[in-house]
Amino acid sequence: MVSLSTKIGSLELKNPVMTASGTFGYGTEYSDFMDISRLGAIIVKGTTLNPRQGNPYPRMVETPSGMLNAVGLQNKGVDHFVDHIYPEVRKIRTSIIVNVSGSCIDDYVQTASIINTLDDIPAIELNISCPNVKQGGMAFGVNPDSAAQVVGAVRKVYDKTLIVKLSPNVTDITEIARAVEGAGADSISLINTLLGMAIDAGKRKPILSTITGGLSGPAVKPIALRMVWQTAKAVKIPVIGLGGICSATDAIEFLLAGASAVQIGTANFIDPSISGKVIDGIGEYLACHGFSSVRDIIGILDTD
């Protein structure tokens, strides 16, 4: 029997497979299709201090091997989460992690300190990389100083596991990763979506209401893999890899590149039971290749 358990800071996960924020709702949307308590963790939809209506429709367009989205952090705000969603998601027998976003540092700090009071939320994922909001979001994540500033401010009020989700829309991902580590992050997750756009040539108009949006899906996997590999070498804290993972093999590639855990995102839309299959597939790979623990393959990529 192989061990699938892994660790993100002080957080023990029963396996390294999480579902990515914004792709898995609050988990229960998927419970008809799979046993969601099997997941290593569920990262719930991006939560902000105040309710957000998100961007106007159209918010999505399929692109070759991927999709662009411009949802714009639609959510009912942290108070709604605490009163209405937390009582439900805390019953799910896995780690529930809240993705936290904001327009200014104070938004992040206030939201994080409210989530900090919830006993059954063992971690937050700080989203400093959303490309679809005018203020905040990615603006914090593309500069090492502002990234460190927001992480440092949240660190002061948040005492559980603090994961910071990075944007790939930067020249040197390791510079941002080191800044975030230095500011007190317990873990880094990457990549968020890549800024892209799509045009309707017939109408001579952009397809998304926001003109640009975030690209995800298999199209981004090679970029994500490269950035995870670079980041895992640059920092000591655990890295969580995501970007286009559609199979157990994809997930294993991220683990070999140095990720301590992975997130499944866009693939949930194609196969709502994919994450269970990825968990099973990782176990089979470990058994087949003679490893007793998933921890034994993290970062063992042979580059010689």
Partner 1 sequence: MKKFQLDLAVEDNCMVGPGVTLLTLRSEDGLPDMVAGQFAEILVPSAKVLLRRPISIHFIDKERNTIGFLIQIVGDGTAALAALRAGDSVNVLLPLGNGFSYRSTHVARPLLIGGGVGVAPLLFLGQELAGNGIIPTFLFGGRNGELILRKEEFMKYGNLFMTTEDGSAGERGFVTDHSLLLDSESFDRVYACGPTPMLKAVGHWAREHDTACEVSLEHRMACGIGACLCCVEDTADSGNVCVCKEGPVFNIDRLKWFH
Distance in Å, CB of 228 to partner 1, minimum: 22
CA distance 240 to 263: 7
Q: Which of 7, 50, 54, 291 binds partner 1 (CB under 8 A)?
A: 54
Distance in Å, CB of 197 to partner 1, minimum: 15
Q: Which stretch binds partner 1 (CB under 8 A): 29-37, 94-102, 193-201, 227-235?
A: 29-37
Is 57 among the residues that bind partner 1 (CB under 8 A)? Answer: yes
Q: With both helix axes pointing from N to C terminus, report the angle between 173-182 and 221-234 in degrees, rounded to the nearest 10.
A: 50
Dig out the tokens for 211 from the structure.
Answer: 């003109």
Among residues 270 and 287, whose Cβ is nearest to partner 1?
A: 270
Among residues 144 and 281, whose Cβ is nearest to partner 1?
A: 281
Is 58 among the residues that bind partner 1 (CB under 8 A)? Answer: yes
**Residues of span 161-220 touching partner 1 by CB under 8 A:** 217-218
Number of residues that bind partner 1 (CB under 8 A): 34
Site string for partner 1, 232-271 (x = CB under 8 A): ----------------------------------x-xxxx
Q: Which stretch binds partner 1 (CB under 8 A): 25-33, 81-89, 174-182, 286-294?
A: 25-33
The 3 state secondary structure assigned to the chain is CCECCEEECCEEECCCEEECCCCCCCCHHHCCCCCHHHCCEEEEEEECCCCECCCCCCCEEEECCEEEECCCCCECCHHHHHHHHHHHHCCCCCEEEEEECCCCHHHHHHHHHHHCCCCCCCEEEEECCCCCCCCCCHHHHCCHHHHHHHHHHHHHHCCCEEEEECCCCCCCHHHHHHHHHHCCCCEEEECCCEEEECEECCCCEECCCCCEEEEECHHHHHHHHHHHHHHHHHCCCCEEEECCCCCHHHHHHHHHHCEEEEEECCHHHHCCCHHHHHHHHHHHHHHHCCCCEHHHHCCCCCCC
Q: Which of 8, 13, 24, 127 binds partner 1 (CB under 8 A)?
A: 24
Is 61 among the residues that bind partner 1 (CB under 8 A)? Answer: yes
Site string for partner 1, 30-49 (x = CB under 8 A): x-xx-----------x----
Residues whose CB is less than 8 angstroms from the CB of residue 48 and which lie 6 or more positions away in sequence, other chains included? 73, 75, 77, 78, 100, 101, 102, 103, 107, 111
Q: Which stretch binds partner 1 (CB under 8 A): 56-64, 101-109, 193-201, 250-258?
A: 56-64
Among residues 210 and 231, whose Cβ is nearest to partner 1?
A: 210
Is 96 among the residues that bind partner 1 (CB under 8 A)? Answer: no
Distance in Å, CB of 272 to partner 1, minimum: 6
Indicate if 130 belongs to the active site. yes
Is 53 among the residues that bind partner 1 (CB under 8 A)? Answer: yes
Residues that bind partner 1 (CB under 8 A): 22-25, 29-30, 32-33, 45, 53-54, 56-62, 64-67, 69, 71, 74, 217-218, 266, 268-273
Point out the residues that are catalytic: 130
